[in-house]
Amino acid sequence: MAAEEPAEIDAFDSVLDAIGGTPLIRLARIAPPGGPRVYVKAEFLNPGGSVKDRAALAMVLDAERSGALEPGGLIVEGTSGNTGIGLAIVAAQLGYRLAVVVPDKTSREKIAILRAYGAEVVTTPGTVPREDPAHVRQLARRIADERGGWLADQYDNPANPAAHRETTGPEIWRQTGGRLTHFVAGVGTGGTISGAGAYLKEVSGGRVRVVGADPEHSVYSGGDGSPYLVESIGHYRHPDTAEDLWPRSYHLDVVDQVVPVGDRESILVTRRLAREEGLLLGASAGTAVAVALRVAAGLSPDDLVVVVVPDSGRSYLSKYYDDGWLDRLGVPVGHAGELTVADVV
């Protein structure tokens, strides 16, 4: 039989159109049977491999509209890597240059990816105080000022949470047929949880509970701000001086609860997701899924939990998936094949 002529070409005009529209995938093996359904929002399937493609695109389009970013101009950002990768894709496609400042704990894979897209990468210590000129955000601002660039400033840029209010939140609501009861996400800039969380609360008439997932010691969940291993989420600063310095992208009124998770548990859950669910993810996904499992433990089969898994494990093969790296940092996990549920709960 002759192939039917398709009426239209079924393709995107550019990689930018492939951002968003990620699937929900059920955790069929890790989530205990008899409890609520738990789905991951598979943000690692964005073209840049992370949730931050959404915010990067929204921030650049907004800056083009306002005139803050001129044609062919320089984009500058302080980022734990993924926003930089998102910006690099947008910059390549729309004809901008990009300089990114990353904290020194950023994985070497992410730095290599940024360079592969043609971005200029500057590393700086990740634990210096906000006031220090070497702090990621201070340094990014200085580079933008000195070179006449536009600072994307994801921590304070309203286009970041707005991207999730306009895309991530509505996608989740539609994909769950409005049956969602609990939404779990890690908090970095706060853009994902604030934007998607606000939309989901509004559309459900306040029924959806919004739960933040945070590394233990991070100030978002009341920690003292001392360092931790999981990349890209949480906040180091001490709460006594922090309140008004917290990112404007993080809207505390949207979040019902923020749950801390230790590095070891986050990493063990991350590794289980690869081996038991076939989902190779970063450790912020492990943190978020660890919280989702705790939340799910108290729920009924009628409940429905969605947890954002922000990026791919391919960026961390030299870290969370490397037993030697973990041993050196004092997080022995044994051989991943020997992990049991008892290790993580």
Q: Which residues bind ligand PMP (CB under 6 A)?
A: 50-52, 80, 82, 186-192, 232-233, 282, 284, 310-311
Cβ neighbourhood burial of 38 (10 Å; 0-12, 13-18, 19+): buried
At closest approach, how far in Å is the CB of 177 from ligand PMP? Answer: 25
- Judged by CB, which is closer to ligand PMP: 150, or 155? 155
- Identify whether 52 is a catalytic site residue: yes
| Nearer to ligand PMP among residue 138 and residue 287 (C-beta) | 287
* Closer Cβ to ligand PMP, 217 or 303, answer by number: 217
Nearer to ligand PMP (CB atom), residue 186 or residue 225: 186
Catalytic residue among 52, 105, 110, 319: 52
| Residue in 181, 184, 179, 173 with CA at minimum distance from that of residue 294 | 184
Minimum gap (Å) between residue 340 Cβ and ligand PMP: 26
Q: At its nearest, how many Å lie between ligand PMP and the CB of residue 67?
A: 26
The residue nearest ligand PMP at its CB is 188
Write down the least CB distance from residue 57 to ligand PMP, Å.
14
Phi-psi region of 164 (alpha: psi -120 to 50; beta: other; left: phi over 0): alpha
Tell me how far, at minimum, the Cβ of 169 lies from ligand PMP, in Å.
12
Q: How far is the CB of 284 from ligand PMP (least distance, A)?
A: 3
Question: For the chain, what is the HEC assignment?
Answer: CCCCCCCCCCCCCCHHHHCCCCCEEECCCCCCCCCCEEEEEEHHHCCCCECHHHHHHHHHHHHHHHCCCCCCCEEEEECCCHHHHHHHHHHHHHCCEEEEEEECCCCHHHHHHHHHCCCEEEEECCCCCCCCCCCHHHHHHHHHHHHCCEECCCCCCCHHHHHHHHHHHHHHHHHCCCCCCEEEEECCCCHHHHHHHHHHHHHCCCCCEEEEEEECCCHHHCCCCCCCCCCCCCCCCCHHHHHHHCCCCCCHHHCCEEEEECHHHHHHHHHHHHHHHCCCECHHHHHHHHHHHHHHHCCCCCCEEEEEECEEHHHHCCCCCCHHHHHHCCCCCCCHHHCCHHHHC
Q: Which is nearer to ligand PMP, 82 or 218 (CB)?
A: 82
Based on CB atoms, which residue is closest to ligand PMP, 243 or 327?
243
Nearer to ligand PMP, 73 or 86 (CB): 86
Amino acid, res. 284? S
Shortest reach from residue 10's CB to ligand PMP, in Å:
31
* Token digits of residue 286: 């492990």
Contacts of 243 (CB under 8 A, 6+ apart): none
Indicate which residues carry an active-site annotation: 52
